[in-house]
């Protein structure tokens, strides 16, 4: 019913009808008549990726990407977590606390992952203890008290958000049935509200998108309505399936979510996507696409991580690489986040994506109009229409400079020291609209177009 694929197919079909319509289906727009305030860097979060020993990654790698959201719980350490006893939990708590301090150093918010502190980090098995097994909640209640008292003892009370459980619907982190999850969720919400009212509660943190035909979602929505355990922030993940073309679009997903909220009579609350991007989407092109969409929707989000073991606690979700001597260097995507976090200053500008959904842009206006975009994972000839030129002081017609930059990908943790400068061209415009031809020749690259006056 809510198939995104259907929408895409329809748009492509329409495009074939005539060459004019086809061109429009591949046009993104920037409207200089509609400024939207200072950049918020809604896509500048990531989970894990922070070394447990403080001060390993030089500060500028965090600050220049405007890092603002972290998320951790000591997953995949040799110590197995609370379900194996208090001693197995302590190193996980210490890891999380260290990551929290790093986040706070950069002013980032922090999401606590209870399932990892507990030990259900993907390495657990059916025979392990889960909250509420045999209707006995005592170990889980003790665990929650332990975590909260340890956080208090360490002054870990500011900017704390708690994910009640990660991806219970995904089959990897919750090895019990749905009804036991629902009971755990309601109980944990009420306990946390009692013993840790300072923390914001995030839920349900499902891997599947909101969907009126997904029983995890419908059971959860009806459970939070009937138990009055609505989270402070609604949270889910946007991970495209391998080889697929949907599952990652916040604009679509949010639309469905608003419908199901209405259906269940639930209030609107902020949304956070605390994992975005599949492994194939961790390339500059897809990062730029996600930035455009999260900025348009004003929704905070965190990059996924696709590594395990010690690498999980390093490399800023593969935004960085490291030499044999332990010196960090930037990978291709880091340069996109840096441009987004450092160079795209001033006012955010209203944008819209191409009708085929692939080409999308994020834009800011200051000394230059900077437009960052990509065709997600496609290549082809696209167009950026910049409307309202006169409202940014250009004029309704004339000639401007357009400088094109490319942000390449050099493989997983492959070093890229900056964007490629493709030079400045002069483009004439009239009717208050500049038309920039955008040739996307590399499916992993992001591009920037900078518009400025000819002096």
Interacting residues with ligand NAG between 29 and 68 (CB under 6 A): 31, 33-34
Contact 87, 78 (CB under 8 A): no
Judged by beta carbon, residue 124 or residue 356, the one nearer ligand NAG is 356
Nearer to ligand NAG, 34 or 90 (CB): 34
List CB contacts of 451: < 8 A, sequence separation 6 or more: 368, 369, 371, 386, 400, 401, 402, 434, 436
Q: Is 203 in the site for ligand NAG (CB under 6 A)?
A: no
Output the smallest distance, CB 372 to ligand NAG, in A. Answer: 10
Question: Closest separation between CB of residue 380 and ligand NAG, Å?
Answer: 12
User: What does residue 222 show for φ and ψ, rounded to 5 degrees?
Assistant: -70, -35
Considering only 3, 154, 298, 431, the residue that binds ligand NAG (CB under 6 A) is: 154
Measured CA to CA, the distance from residue 233 to residue 302 in angstroms comes to 14
Task: Based on the shown chain and the rule CB under 6 A, indicate whether residue 280 belongs to the binding site for ligand NAG.
Answer: yes
Residue with tokens 């605390």: 274
Asked if 441 is part of the footprint of ligand NAG (rule: CB under 6 A), the reply reads no
Instruction: Rule CB under 6 A: say whether 373 interacts with ligand NAG.
Output: no
Residue 383 as a binder of ligand NAG (CB under 6 A): the answer is no
CA 376 to chain centre: 15
Contact pattern from residue 293 through residue 312 relative to ligand NAG, giving x for each residue in contact according to CB under 6 A and a dash for the rest: --------------------
Binder among 24, 245, 343, 432 for ligand NAG (CB under 6 A): 343
Cβ(364)–Cβ(37) under 8 Å? no
Range 416-419, long-range pairs (CB < 8 A, 24+ positions): 416/330, 416/331, 416/332, 416/334, 416/335, 417/329, 417/330, 417/335, 418/335, 419/335, 419/339, 419/448
Asked whether position 377 contacts ligand NAG by CB under 6 A, the answer is: yes
Q: Does the footprint of ligand NAG cover residue 443 (CB under 6 A)?
A: yes
Residues 395-424 that bind ligand NAG (CB under 6 A): 405, 419
Using the rule CB under 6 A, give the single segment among 26-34, 41-49, 102-110, 199-207 that binds ligand NAG: 26-34
CA trace torsion 165, 167, 171, 172 (10° rounding): -80
- DSSP tag of 323: -
Residue with smaller CB distance to ligand NAG, 65 or 108: 65
Size of residue set near ligand NAG by CB under 6 A: 15
Q: Which is nearer to ligand NAG, 222 or 432 (CB)?
A: 432
Dist CA 6 CA 245 (whole Å): 11
Q: Shortest gap between Cβ of 360 and ligand NAG (angstroms)?
A: 15
- Shortest reach from residue 431's CB to ligand NAG, in Å: 11
Rounded to the nearest 10°, the torsion over CA 173, 175, 179, 184 is -50
**Gap between the Cα atoms of 207 and 122, Å rounded:** 14
State the residues that interact with ligand NAG by CB under 6 A: 31, 33-34, 154-155, 280, 339, 342-343, 377, 387-388, 405, 419, 443
């Amino acid at each position: 019913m809510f198939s995104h694929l259907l929408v895409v197919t329809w748009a492509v079909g329409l495009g074939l009808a005539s060459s004019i319509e086809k061109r429009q289906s591949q046009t993104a727009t920037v409207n200089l008549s509609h400024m939207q305030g200072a950049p918020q860097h809604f896509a500048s979060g990531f989970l894990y990726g922070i070394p447990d020993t403080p001060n390993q990654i030089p500060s500028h790698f965090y600050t220049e990407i405007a890092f603002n959201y972290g998320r951790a719980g000591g997953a995949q350490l040799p110590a197995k977590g609370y379900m194996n006893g208090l001693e197995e939990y302590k190193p996980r708590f210490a890891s999380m606390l260290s990551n929290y301090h790093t986040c706070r150093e950069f002013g980032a918010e922090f999401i606590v992952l209870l399932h990892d502190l507990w030990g259900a980090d993907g390495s657990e098995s059916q025979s392990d203890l889960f909250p509420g097994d045999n209707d006995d909640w005592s170990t889980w209640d003790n665990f929650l008290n332990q975590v909260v008292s340890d956080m208090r003892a360490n002054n870990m009370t500011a900017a704390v958000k708690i994910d009640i459980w990660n991806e219970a619907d995904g089959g990897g982190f919750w090895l019990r049935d749905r009804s036991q999850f629902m009971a755990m969720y309601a109980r944990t919400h009420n306990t946390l509200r009692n013993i840790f009212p300072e923390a914001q509660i995030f839920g349900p943190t499902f891997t599947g998108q909101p969907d009126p035909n997904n029983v995890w979602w419908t059971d959860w929505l009806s459970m939070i309505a009937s138990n009055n355990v609505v989270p402070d922030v609604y949270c889910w993940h946007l991970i495209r399936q391998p080889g697929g073309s949907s599952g990652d679009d916040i604009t679509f997903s949010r639309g469905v979510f608003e419908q199901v909220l209405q259906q269940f009579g639930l209030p609107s609350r902020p949304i956070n996507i605390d994992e975005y991007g599949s492994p194939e989407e961790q390339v500059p092109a897809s990062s730029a696409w996600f930035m455009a969409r999260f900025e348009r929707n004003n929704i905070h989000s965190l990059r996924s991580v696709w590594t395990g073991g010690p690498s999980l606690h390093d490399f800023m979700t593969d935004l960085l690489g490291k030499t044999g001597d332990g010196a960090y260097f930037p990978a291709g995507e880091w340069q996109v986040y840096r441009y987004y976090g450092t160079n795209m200053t001033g006012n955010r500008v209203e944008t819209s994506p191409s009708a085929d959904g692939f080409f999308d842009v994020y834009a800011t206006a200051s000394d230059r109009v900077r437009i960052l975009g990509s065709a997600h994972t496609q290549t082809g000839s696209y167009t950026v229409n910049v409307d309202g030129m006169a409202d940014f002081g250009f004029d309704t017609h004339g000639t401007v400079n357009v400088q094109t930059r490319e942000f390449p990908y050099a493989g997983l943790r492959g070093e890229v020291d900056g964007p490629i400068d493709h030079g400045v061209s002069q483009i004439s415009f009239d009717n208050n609209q500049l038309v920039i031809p955008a040739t996307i020749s590399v499916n992993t690259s992001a591009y920037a177009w900078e518009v400025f006056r000819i002096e």
